[in-house]
Amino acid sequence: VDTLEANRSRCVGMAANMIGVGKRIIAFVDEDLGGRVTVMLNPVITASDGAFDTQEGCLSLAGERRTLRYRRIEVNYEDRRFRARHATFTGWTAQIIQHEVDHCNGIII
């Protein structure tokens, strides 16, 4: 969360492995919650629909790359108190989560 906040002017999401922490943790700016930073432990995308092509940038790369994303996703994860959660996300927030989960899975756009 600290690294995301420090780079907030140029980034909207961060995966723990991007900063050398070998854990499946993501933090992202949740526009649906007024720009609050949300943290997910062990996120797994369980459903998706509404595929679309887009261009994304990443702190790990220069420039943008083409990628396939989904307009709506469902995610199983644990919150900061290790409580199991399931939630649906759409739009920009869904896109950010997909990007960060890709990082957790060793995928860089």
| Inter-residue contact 49 to 70 (CB < 8 Å) | yes
Q: Which positions are catalytic?
A: 100
Question: Do 96 and 75 form a contact (C-beta atoms < 8 A)?
Answer: no
Q: Are 43 and 78 in contact (CB under 8 A)?
A: no
Say how far apart CA 33 and CA 17 lie, in whole Å. 25
**Looking at this protein, which amino acid is placed at residue 89?**
F
